[in-house]
Structure 1
Amino acid sequence: MSSGTRYLERIQDGRQVWLNGEVVKDIPRHPAFRGTVQTIASVLDLQDDPVVGPQLMFETETGVRANLAYLVPVNKEDIIRRGRSFKIWSDATFGVMSRIAGYYRSQITGLYMNRHLIDQEQPHYAERIEKYFNYVRDHDLLIASAGHDPQIDRSKPAHELGDLYTAVRIVKETEEGIVVRGAKVLATGGAYLDEIMVVPNSRRTAAEKPYALLFIIAANTPGVYQISRESFASLDEEDHPLSSRYDEMDTVLVFDDAFIPWERVMVKEDPDTLWRLRTDPVSSLYGQHEIIVRLASKLEFVLAVAVELAESISITKFAHVQEKLAELAFQVESVKALWYAAEHRSVLHPLGVWLPGKEELVAARNLGTKYYPRAIEILQQLSGSGMLQAPSRLSDLSGPLGSHLQKYYRGADRGAEERAKLLKLAWDLVGSRLGARHELYERFYSGDPARTYAGQYVEYDKRELIDRSRAACIGSAGFRQADA
């Protein structure tokens, strides 16, 4: 049985995914999920390909074939090998799908590698995360995450919202585990992935101790309801080539007194320890490594579409067009340079594992929040109203008015059908509901860009720069005195 077939079978597990007021009973065949689920299955099947598979998989110490997102890097080449595998996964969906290439699987791998970090504070953590890591690795499971509280009154912390239980908290403890109530947003891909990690994205205060939890659930956990947003998926692959295949559904997780066994509870009511774990570079850098590789794939895709748009109407000879295309190329090469630098400047951690370069990954991540919206703006500027001039359906080109459409819809270097397909692809990327969702996602997936930029400044090692500046000032003063 292929990897994709196993995936399709295991998500038929009774999970409570709600869309349009009713439970989705057959996710692989439901119109809102079918295209995306089939895409995931096809990407997973790459693992079984005799040529591509060895670039995506490795053999564990127990003889199991596992995805490279779960590889513990014991040398620099392992870091580079992981990056290559991420690029293959990302290119398979042009960087559009963000939750299947290994982001959270890489984070879990990092948590496992530094599993003894919080032994004093949470003595059961190391054993639980090790057991969980081996489970998801050996079963080739896909992981989503939900980390934000519902946006009800953001001027107040969770504990000041009364007894509404808006944010997830424990309402009961037993010998077997905990019972939780509340909600988390947004679980991108949670509707059709295997596992969901539930953990706050922001630091909890001492007063918010009941909300400082890290636990992981199976998507079909009883008492957990996933409330889907409106579907952006299209059933028409010909006219909507991206929306029909790559709509990553976002859901709100509602915990209605859901039971979580102790083995799935990693951190319980400990704000400081949880934040220490969340900011540990061993976990965060592995996740960011995958993020930057996927960003490179996505920006390459935008550049390719932009060049095709410009060539289709023969505007590449104009300087202002060349400037915009060059800007897109600068984006691609800047992110790739930071990606490669992060790998080649990997460092050996005292744990005996290698970590990609932090400064390069953080810089690339922050640049992406501005690069992608700007890239979409350039596509709009290059096309103008062109993307609105495609026929309502590609099949119209062979319809009653086909002779007119073939004449008036052609490009400078291609026929009407090829140009119409390009325009529809560009519109799906820029102007469709899927396109709007992606622009919003790339702006905010790591949090408020103002905070992530500020965080980069605060954490950046400025000591050498300051020492150099002070040395120059002292030297200048000395020269002036000598001259006098």
Structure 2
Amino acid sequence: MAMMTGGEYLASLNDGRRIFADGEEVKDLATHPQFATALDLVAGGYERHHRPGDDARGPYFMIPRSREELKDLLDLLLGWDMVTVTTSQGLLALLTAAARIRPKSEEYARRIEDYFAYCRDNDLRCVQAITDAKGDRMRPPGGQDDPDSYTRIVERRPDGIVVRGAKLHISSAAVSHELVVMPTKKMKPGEEDWAVACAIPVNTPGVKIVNTNYAPRERVADFPVSSRHNMPEGFVILDDVFVPNERVFLAGETEHSATFAHSLGLWERLGGTAHLAEYGDTLVGLAQLVAEANGTERVPHIREKIAEMIIYATLVRAGLEAAIANAEASPEGWYFPSELFTNAAKHYGAAEFSLMVRHLHDIGGGSIVTAPSIADVEHDEVGPFIKKYMAGKDTGDGEYRTRLFHAIRDFTADAYGGWQLVTMIQSGGGLFAQRLVARKHYPMDDAKALALKLAGISKD
């Protein structure tokens, strides 16, 4: 097949999928307000990338074969919608897993490569369904009151498997074509039924997706960020879903169960670090603008906070550059970012993000959450008063400063801002997971050798 246009993408969603939102089943995604912005963004991406010809392929299916190509891909990623970014990262994560399991399972590696080609040739979008419901976190999958708390194989057939469970926090699942299911953690011997990875079309019988969204439904002018950039969050239910063998990438091999999560974590953390670097610069820009509008840009403690924000943004970007500069090649010639620098940079960026937001709120002041709406600014009677009293230093009337406050609120202190605070920590796994991986890949022997040399101690 050739690449899809935006219209063809929208038509492809009318495939019998079962989508739920606001307590009802959604029969037409295109007319439901919760999905309108997301569909516009993804369809717009299809339009921008579309090229005619049966051999045309989207750049989001690039497999980097050098550090330069990896950097090029990452630069492109920041300009894509979330669904396209997720597709690129997820498929590269699958290829990373394929490279790691190939020595033990050539068949699974081949199926993954075939699936990559299928998505590329049909110009499909896919999301990664990894986080299970988990039930009692202190119990293993087999020790749960409900064994479906972790997605599992409930039936094995000659031609495939049947899976049951739920996957949570699956951004943009409802507006994608494919679900890539993988284990949420390492499974142990005896937990073979929960060691499952596979690819499932969204419209497969038994798949149901319940959606939430942080997007505003009205007062769009007061939400300059989230009204233009939002995606539905999917609660994916797998109610005895059949998966044919060619789409099964793991079915009981517990020794490979963590490989998929680690591979996905690597690529999600790289993408998360790239966004943290961009958001860090954005926070600096907002802080400087609001300080200037308030006339406080020369106040010592505000200058210090902005300087700290500058250092934060710069160090996150430096970690991102190091992850690319130290990328490593697989036996197939595919380049993957450095595990050490990716995880260290993502951890630092995520752990300190809330402090940078706090600095911005301290610099901006209470009007971040109390500024009148734009409709009130434009009101014939009270609008002139708002413009008069919201005016700041060298900003003309108060509309400029009011809009700046709304941007800060929407970006950092409202529904979208709350979503960002949680997402920055949780994307690619929580902070603890990043510490574990960074420690695993840190050259500890070299560090110990330096310490021994300093202490004048020889070690055989």
TM-score by structure 2 length?
A: 0.90
Identify which of 32, 35, 38 aligns with 1:36: 38
Distance 1:444 1:33, change over 3 A: same
Query: 1:266 Cα shift?
Result: 0.8
Number of residue pairs aligned between Structure 1 and Structure 2: 456
Q: How does 1:416-431 map to 2 (within 5 A)?
A: 416-431=398-413
Q: How does 1:210-221 map to 2 (within 5 A)?
A: 210-221=193-204
Query: 1:121 Cα shift?
Result: 4.4
Distance 1:224 1:202, change over 3 A: same
Find the aligned partners of 1:120 and 1:343 in 2 and give their Cα distance: 26
**1:190-239 CA distance string (max 9 Å, x none):** 11122221112321122322111001112222111112236543343212
Identify which of 54, 63, 75 aligns with 1:84: 75
**Other-structure match for 1:455:** 437
Query: 1:45 Cα shift?
Result: 3.3
Find the aligned partners of 1:307 and 1:45 in 2 and give their Cα distance: 36
Find the aligned partners of 1:406 and 1:205 in 2 and give their Cα distance: 64
Find the aligned partners of 1:120 and 1:455 in 2 and give their Cα distance: 22
**Other-structure match for 2:361:** 380
Amino acid paired to 1:462: M
Instruction: State percent identity of aligned pairs.
Output: 25
Identify which of 276, 279, 304 aligns with 1:295: 276
Is 2:326 aligned against 1:314?
no
The answer to whether the 8 A contact 1:187-1:196 is kept is: no
Is 2:48 aligned against 1:65?
no
Identify which of 433, 438, 448 aligns with 2:420: 438
**Other-structure match for 2:342:** 361
Distance 1:307 1:100, change over 3 A: farther
Find the aligned partners of 2:282 and 2:140 in 1 and give their Cα distance: 40
Q: Secondary structure at the match of 1:124?
A: helix
Query: 1:470 Cα shift?
Result: 0.9
Query: 1:164 Cα shift?
Result: 5.0
Distance 1:65 1:460, change over 3 A: same
Find the aligned partners of 1:141 and 1:305 in 2 and give their Cα distance: 36
Q: Secondary structure at the match of 1:131?
A: helix
Find the aligned partners of 1:220 and 1:236 in 2 and give their Cα distance: 34
Distance 1:459 1:321, change over 3 A: same
Identify which of 1, 12, 17 aligns with 1:10: 12
Query: 1:359 Cα shift?
Result: 2.2
What runs of 5+ residues in structure 2 fail to find an aligned partner? Answer: none
Structure 1 segments of 4 or more deviating over 6 A?
none
Query: 1:151 Cα shift?
Result: 4.5
More deviation, 349-358/413-422: 349-358
Find the aligned partners of 1:184 and 1:244 in 2 and give their Cα distance: 26
The answer to whether the 8 A contact 1:16-1:226 is kept is: yes
Query: 1:317 Cα shift?
Result: 0.8
Identify which of 202, 210, 220 aligns with 1:227: 210
Find the aligned partners of 1:162 and 1:328 in 2 and give their Cα distance: 47
**1:332-376 CA distance string (max 9 Å, x none):** 211211222222333444433333333221111111221321222
Find the aligned partners of 1:457 and 1:116 in 2 and give their Cα distance: 22
Find the aligned partners of 1:457 and 1:287 in 2 and give their Cα distance: 18
Find the aligned partners of 1:301 and 1:181 in 2 and give their Cα distance: 42
More deviation, 396-405/103-112: 103-112
**Other-structure match for 2:188:** 205
Q: How does 1:167-186 map to 2 (within 5 A)?
A: 167-186=150-169
Query: 1:273 Cα shift?
Result: 1.6
The answer to whether the 8 A contact 2:97-2:260 is kept is: no
Identify which of 251, 258, 276 aligns with 2:234: 251
Q: Secondary structure at the match of 1:322?
A: helix
Find the aligned partners of 1:310 and 1:354 in 2 and give their Cα distance: 43
Distance 1:46 1:339, change over 3 A: farther
**Other-structure match for 1:407:** 388
**Other-structure match for 2:452:** 470
Distance 1:109 1:441, change over 3 A: closer
Q: Secondary structure at the match of 1:88?
A: coil
**1:141-190 CA distance string (max 9 Å, x none):** 22212212214321212211245522211222223321222212121111
TM-score by structure 1 length?
A: 0.86
Find the aligned partners of 2:212 and 2:128 in 1 and give their Cα distance: 16
Find the aligned partners of 1:347 and 1:306 in 2 and give their Cα distance: 37
More deviation, 301-310/258-267: 301-310
Distance 1:22 1:396, change over 3 A: same
**Other-structure match for 2:92:** 109
Find the aligned partners of 2:285 and 2:436 in 1 and give their Cα distance: 33
Find the aligned partners of 1:34 and 1:192 in 2 and give their Cα distance: 10
Q: Secondary structure at the match of 2:235?
A: strand
Distance 1:77 1:455, change over 3 A: closer
Q: Secondary structure at the match of 2:308?
A: helix
Q: Secondary structure at the match of 1:252?
A: strand
Q: Secondary structure at the match of 1:381?
A: helix
Find the aligned partners of 2:313 and 2:150 in 1 and give their Cα distance: 39
Find the aligned partners of 2:213 and 2:89 in 1 and give their Cα distance: 29
What runs of 5+ residues in structure 1 fail to find an aligned partner? Answer: 54-58, 90-96, 478-484
Q: Secondary structure at the match of 1:410?
A: coil
Query: 1:44 Cα shift?
Result: 3.8
Distance 1:205 1:241, change over 3 A: same
The answer to whether the 8 A contact 2:343-2:437 is kept is: no
